[in-house]
Amino acid sequence: MAGALDAFLAPVQFLKGVGPARAEVLEAAGISTNLDLLQYYPRRYLDRSNTCTVRELATADGPATVIATVRATADIKRRPRRFEVVCEDDEGQRFRCVWFRRVNWVSSAFASGDRVAFHGRAKMFRGQPSMSHPEFDKLDEDAPKLDTGRIIALYPGTAELQKVRLSSKAFRRIIFGLIRDHGLSFPEILPDDIRERYSLIEGRVALRAIHFPKNQEELDAARRRLIFEELFFFQLMLGKLRVTRTRARAPRFDAPGHAAQRFIANLPFALTKGQERVIGEIAADTRSGKQMNRLLQGDVGSGKTVVAVAAMMQAIDSGYQAAFMAPTEILAEQHYANLRRYFDFLEVNTRLLVGGQRKQQRREILQDIASGNTRIVVGTHALIQEGVEFARLGLTVVDEQHRFGVMQRAEITSKGHRPHVLLMTATPIPRSLALTLYGDLDVSVMRERPAHRKPIRTVLAGEKQRPQVYRALTGELAQGRQVYVVYPLVAESEKLDLKDAESGLQTLRAAFPDTTVDLLHGRMSSEQKESVMRRFSAGETGILVATTVVEVGVDVPNATVMVIEHAERFGLSQLHQLRGRVGRGAAESTCYLMAGVKRTEEAGIRLQAMVDTNDGFKISETDLRLRGAGDFFGTKQSGVAEFRIADLTRDGEVLTAAREAALSITEADPAFDTEANRVMGAYYNAFYVDRRMPLAKIG
Ligand code: ADP
Ligand code: MG
Q: What is the CATH number of the domain that holds 568?
A: 3.40.50.300
Residues whose CB falls within 8 Å of the CB of residue 460, separated by 6 or more in sequence, listed in order? 567, 593, 595, 607, 608, 610, 611
Note the pLDDT of residue 228: 97
Q: Which residues contact 226 (CB under 8 A, 6 or more apart)?
A: 41, 206, 207, 210, 645
- pLDDT tens for each residue of 501-539: 888 899 999 999 999 999 988 778 777 887 888 899 899
Residue 572: exposure state from Cβ atoms within 10 A (0-12, 13-18, ≥19):
buried
Query: How far is 436 from 73, CA to CA, in rounded Å?
Result: 54
Q: 426 CA to middle of ligand 1, Å? A: 12
Mean pLDDT across the stretch 465-477?
A: 95
Q: What is the pTM of this model?
A: 0.68
**C-alpha span between 696 and 666 (Å, rounded):** 14
Ligand 1 touching residue 583 (CB < 6 A): no
Query: Looking at residue 438, what is its pLDDT?
Result: 74
Q: Do 434 and 463 share a structural domain? A: no
- 682-688: average pLDDT: 83
- Please tell me the distance from the alpha carbon of residue 375 to that of residue 391, in angstroms, as a whole number: 9
Confidence category of residue 696, pLDDT binned at 50, 70, 90: very low
Rounded to the nearest angstrom, the distance between the alpha carbon of 536 and the centre of ligand 2 is 18
How many residues are listed for the chain in this entry?
A: 699
Say whether both 471 and 330 belong to one domain: no
Q: What is the mean pLDDT of residues 188-198?
A: 96
Question: How are beta strands 482-486 and 457-461 bridged, if at all?
Answer: unpaired
In a domain, residue 643? The reply is no
Helices marked H in 95-252: 103-107, 159-163, 168-182, 192-197, 203-211, 216-247
Q: Ligand 1 within 6 A of 401 CB?
A: no
Q: Which domain holds residue 199?
A: 2-45+157-216
Q: Which residues face 424 on adjacent strands?
A: 296
Q: Is the distance from the beta carbon of residue 302 to the nearest atom of ligand 1 less than 6 Å?
A: yes
Judge if the beta carbon of residue 301 lies within 6 A of ligand 1: yes
Q: Given 588, 613, 638, which residue is the final one in a domain?
A: 613
Name the band, by pLDDT with cuts 50, 70 and 90, for residue 491: very low
**Residue 238 counted as domain residue:** no
- Residue where a domain terminates, one of 427, 446, 465: 446
In total, how many domains does the chain have?
4
Assess whether 184 and 278 both reside in one domain.
no
The whole-number pLDDT of residue 397 equals 94
- Same domain? For 313 and 172 the reply is no
Residue 399 lies in a domain: yes
User: CA 184 to CA 302: how far, in whole Å?
Assistant: 57
Helices (H), 288-328: 304-317
Q: Rounded to an integer, what distance in angstroms lies between the CA atom of residue 512 and that of residue 562? A: 16
Q: Phi first, then psi: give them for residue 108, nearest 5 degrees.
A: -85, 0
Claim to verify: residue 17 and residue 164 sit in the same structural domain: yes
- What integer is the mean pLDDT of 546-561? 78
Phi-psi region of 387 (alpha: psi -120 to 50; beta: other; left: phi over 0): left
Query: Residue 142: which pLDDT band, with cuts at 50, 70 and 90?
Result: low
Mean pLDDT for 554-582 is: 89
Cα separation, 450 vs 272, in Å, equals: 6
Going from the Cα of 269 to the center of ligand 1, the distance in angstroms, rounded, reads 10
What pLDDT is attached to residue 345? 82
Does residue 338 line the site of ligand 1, with CB under 6 A? no
CA of 450 to the centre of ligand 1 (A): 7
State residue 689's pLDDT score: 64
Which bound ligand lies closest to the C-alpha atom of 300? 1
Q: Atom 25 in ligand 1: which residue has the minimum CA distance?
A: 450
Question: 421 and 412 in contact (C-beta within 8 Å)?
Answer: yes
3-state helix, strand, coil in the chain (%, to 5): 45, 15, 35
| Closest ligand to the CA of 296 | 1
At residue 459, the 3 state secondary structure works out as strand
Q: Are residues 176 and 200 in the same domain?
A: yes
Residues 588, 534: one domain? Answer: yes
**CA geometry: angle 220, 224, 229, nearest 5 deg:** 150
Distance 589 CA to ligand 1 centre (A): 16
Going by pLDDT thresholds of 50, 70 and 90, the confidence category of residue 636 is very low
Tell whether ligand 1 has an atom less than 6 A from the beta carbon of residue 334: no
The reply to whether 514 and 395 lie within a common domain is: no
Mean pLDDT throughout 620-638?
64
Specify which residues 420 forms β-bridges with. Answer: 395
Nearest CA to ligand 1 atom 22: 450
For the residues 330-336, what does the mean pLDDT come to?
A: 86
**Is the Cβ atom of 335 under 6 angstroms away from ligand 1?**
no
105: helix, coil or strand?
A: helix
Q: What is the pLDDT of residue 526?
A: 73
Mean pLDDT of 337-354: 90
CATH number at residue 206: 1.10.150
> Under 8 Å CB-to-CB from 543, ≥6 apart: which residues?
473, 477, 482, 483, 484, 485, 508, 512, 515, 516, 517, 518
Judgement on whether residues 461 and 606 belong to the same structural domain of the protein: yes
Of residues 473 and 441, the one with the higher pLDDT is: 473
CA distance 260 to 310: 6
Measured in whole angstroms, how far is the alpha carbon of residue 288 from the centre of its chain? 32
Distance CA 439, CA 661 (A): 13
Measured distance CA(176)–CA(153) in Å, rounded: 11
Ligand 1 pocket test: pick from 269, 312, 401 the residue with the most ligand atoms within 8 Å of its Cβ.
269
70 and 22 housed in the same domain: no
Categorize the per-residue pLDDT at 625 as very low, low, confident or very high, splitting at 50, 70 and 90. Answer: confident
Whether 101 shows a pLDDT value over 90: the answer reads: no
| Ligand 1 centroid distance, CA of 330 (Å) | 18
- Determine if ligand 1 sits within 6 Å of the CB of residue 450: yes
Q: Is residue 313 part of a domain?
A: yes
Beta carbons within 8 Å of 270's beta carbon, 6+ residues apart: none
Instruction: Output the pLDDT for position 147.
Output: 73
Are 171 and 24 in the same domain? yes
Please determine, for residue 376, whether its predicted confidence score (pLDDT) is greater than 90. yes
Beta bridge partners of 443: 295
The pLDDT assigned to 198 comes to 97
Q: Assess if residue 648 is contained within a domain.
A: no
Pairing of strands 151-154, 122-125: unpaired
Among 200, 216, 232, where does a domain finish? 216
- Examine residue 632 and state whether it is found in any structural domain, yes or no: no
Closest residue CA from atom 15 of ligand 1: 303
CA of 555 to the centre of ligand 1 (A): 9
- The answer on pLDDT for 640 being more than 70 is no
Q: 428 and 310, same structural domain?
A: yes
